[in-house]
Amino acid sequence: MILNYLLAMIHGYAAYGQPTTNLRVALRNPSAMQTYDGLTAIPWQLIIQSWPGIDTANLTILCGLKQEIPYQYEYLGTGKIVNLLVQVKIEGGAEMELLLQAGKHIAIKKATYCRYVPERYEDFAWENDKIAFRAYGKALESTMENAWGIDVWSKRTSNLVINSWYKTADYHKDNGEGLDYYKVGFTLGAGGIAAMYADTLCYASNYIRWEILDNGPLRSRFKLYHAPFMAGKAEITMVREIWIDAGSQLFTNKVTVQVKDADSVDLAVGIRKNTGTDGILLDETNQIMAYWNPEEPPHGTIGIGCIFGTGIKRQLTNDKHLLAITRVAHGTSFEYRTGAVWDKAGHITSFNLWIKYLMQQKESSVPEVVF
């Protein structure tokens, strides 16, 4: 069941001609079974309508009117606040009241980050306090190291590591924080996407342009633009909008396609498959695809998983991939979540626990705020 948020009450103390100095927001989780633990967005327009004089530089948010919680202003690349992102945990069937009030807020630890990496063949990397990923840039295509899909960096620290690991260039060795040992090669890696024509994958080139929309502390969001590529006689242009939230093993990938000389195109989301495995899940009913890689001593095991909404036509395996196939019309988007886990991080240490995590995320996937 998709988690629904009900914003049950929002008001300020502007009665009797007094200026508004705070704002109460009541949140309810209508799911009796599933706890939601993550970010939810409160539209900024509603907040300023109720509290026109709000000072964005002097705001605290209390949970249950006692404990201060972290938050982030979300701009979506517009230069203006679009949403207030709050990090909350609400048990199934429970309610939570938030109090927004003037005051110096707690220091919010940066838990997500993304950046363009010109010093390493134009990589683009993103991470949170759980895991890290990267996509490959155009400059890599002219080297012997060229690869296509999404790479995983395995972490056992909540600290952000992208800058320090690139600086030392020693991230293929575990120095206590984790390492990069996931192998992508000429595959889709950890949930990359390609077109499919006549049962053959048609890969996009590595990205050619990037744009950062938001960059933490709780959510980082960016776009990657790809040059046109062919799928049969159709020319495909693809833009990927990606965002990652604090505390999650997954990130969201929203893919928008323009199709020339065709009305639609088949897209394939893929997970690289090794020879031998400790677990494969192709769950068309729940729209989940998961893989538990064979252990690679001494580094351990990486699990990869994808969660879809609706529209997956079929799931299958071939010699290189687990694949989920969908049909996308010209000018429209396809959204899914993909991610990874490392058993040596100590949180999710088996395929069964990985599937359980993915199922829980599926059932509480898309929070709604209803005013």
Task: Based on the fold, state whether residues 41 and 119 are members of the same structural domain.
Answer: no
Per-residue confidence band for 4, with pLDDT thresholds at 50, 70 and 90: very low
Looking at residue 10, its pLDDT comes to 43
DSSP string covering 37-94 = EEEEEEEHHHHHHH-TT--TTSEEEEETTTEE--EEEE-TTSSS--EEEEEEEE-TT-
Looking at residue 20, its pLDDT comes to 66
**pLDDT at residue 366 is higher than 90:** no
339, 149 in Cβ contact below 8 A?
no
Per-residue confidence band for 33, with pLDDT thresholds at 50, 70 and 90: confident
Instruction: Look at residue 1 and tell me if it is in a domain.
Output: no
Pairing status of strand 321-329 against strand 178-179: unpaired
Instruction: Look at residue 370 and tell me if it is in a domain.
Output: no
**pLDDT at residue 7 is higher than 70:** no
Which of 102, 128, 148 is the last residue in one of the domains? 102
CA distance 171 to 249: 20
Task: Based on the fold, state whether residues 82 and 10 are members of the same structural domain.
Answer: yes
Task: Based on the fold, state whether residues 278 and 139 are members of the same structural domain.
Answer: yes
Instruction: Look at residue 310 and tell me if it is in a domain.
Output: yes
pLDDT (mean) for 347-351: 96
327, 265 in Cβ contact below 8 A?
yes
pLDDT (mean) for 246-250: 97
**pLDDT at residue 22 is higher than 50:** yes
CATH code, domain with 70? 2.60.40.1180
Looking at residue 16, its pLDDT comes to 39
CA distance 49 to 233: 51
For residue 171, the enclosing domain spans 112-363
Task: Based on the fold, state whether residues 52 and 168 are members of the same structural domain.
Answer: no
pLDDT (mean) for 272-301: 92
pLDDT (mean) for 161-186: 96
Q: Residue 318 is inside which H or E element, if any?
A: none
125, 117 in Cβ contact below 8 A?
yes
CA distance 320 to 290: 14
Instruction: Look at residue 223 and tell me if it is in a domain.
Output: yes
pLDDT (mean) for 287-297: 95
Per-residue confidence band for 21, with pLDDT thresholds at 50, 70 and 90: confident
Instruction: Look at residue 368 and tell me if it is in a domain.
Output: no
Task: Based on the fold, state whether residues 234 and 180 are members of the same structural domain.
Answer: yes
Task: Based on the fold, state whether residues 117 and 214 are members of the same structural domain.
Answer: yes
Task: For residue range 97-121, list pLDDT tens digits in order.
Answer: 899 999 999 899 999 999 999 999 9
Instruction: Look at residue 210 and tell me if it is in a domain.
Output: yes
Looking at residue 19, its pLDDT comes to 54
Task: Based on the fold, state whether residues 63 and 134 are members of the same structural domain.
Answer: no
Instruction: Output the CA angle 75-76-78, nearest 5 degrees.
Output: 70
Which of 32, 67, 102 is the last residue in one of the domains? 102
Per-residue confidence band for 322, with pLDDT thresholds at 50, 70 and 90: very high
pLDDT (mean) for 293-322: 94
**pLDDT at residue 149 is higher than 90:** yes
Which token pair is 98? 């938030």
DSSP string covering 14-26 = -GGGPPP-EEEEE
DSSP H helix total and E strand total for the chain: 3, 27
φ, ψ of residue 193 to 5 degrees: the values are -135, 145
Which of 102, 120, 153 is the last residue in one of the domains? 102
Domain count, the chain: 2
Per-residue confidence band for 301, with pLDDT thresholds at 50, 70 and 90: very high
CATH code, domain with 167? 2.70.98
pLDDT (mean) for 290-307: 96
Mean pLDDT estimate for the chain: 90
Looking at residue 166, its pLDDT comes to 98
Task: Based on the fold, state whether residues 145 and 286 are members of the same structural domain.
Answer: yes
Instruction: Look at residue 371 and tell me if it is in a domain.
Output: no
Instruction: Look at residue 369 and tell me if it is in a domain.
Output: no
Task: Based on the fold, state whether residues 60 and 205 are members of the same structural domain.
Answer: no
Task: Based on the fold, state whether residues 70 and 164 are members of the same structural domain.
Answer: no
Looking at residue 9, its pLDDT comes to 41
